[in-house]
Amino acid sequence: MRLFRSSEVVGIAADALDFAREAARDTHPNEYMGFLRGEPARNFDLDRTGTVITEVLIVPGTRSDETSATVDNNMIPNDSRAVGSIHSHPSGAIRPSDADLDTFGQGRVHIILGYPYGPDDWRAFDQRGELRELDVLDVDLPDPEEFFDFSEADLDLDDGRSPR
């Protein structure tokens, strides 16, 4: 099973990009790193085929300093919704380094966020490190807090002991 999808990535949800920019600011002056997950564009009633980046996955145990971020490969989930990676350059340079190019082999899109992490301080690249277009899309994403919005009645417990 392939870890990364083969369909074209047509854009990134504005909320996902905003989350990553905020995480990069919070991590500064160290590098920030995450992985990108997507959903079919048809889930958002877009007149396009392909995938929309909807989430940034933070991998537990990621270590970073001012010049690099390292992920423990054993902690990366085998995720069929994975589409690429995202990381920051605290120096402000928005181009892939040789080390970045070595990690771009998996996934369709790789985003670099440059200091000061403003709305235009990012670029998307393909697997070869070539600049590519990536639209920022204003789509409605599910509220992650809704995942935790339930009560004991929603669990359908019998006499409060165990699920049926």
Residue 6 scores a pLDDT above 70? no
User: Which residues are the active-site residues?
Assistant: 31
Q: Dump pLDDT digits (tens) for 103-129.
A: 887 789 999 999 999 999 999 999 999
Tens digit of each residue's pLDDT (9 = 90 or more) over 17-68: 999 999 999 999 999 999 999 999 999 988 889 999 999 988 776 777 677 7
Cα separation of 86 and 82, whole Å? Answer: 12
Q: Supply the pTM of this predicted model.
A: 0.79
Query: Residue 158: pLDDT band by 50, 70, 90 thresholds?
Result: low
**CA nearest to 139, candidates 8, 11, 5, 7:** 11
Tokens of 132: 């590519």
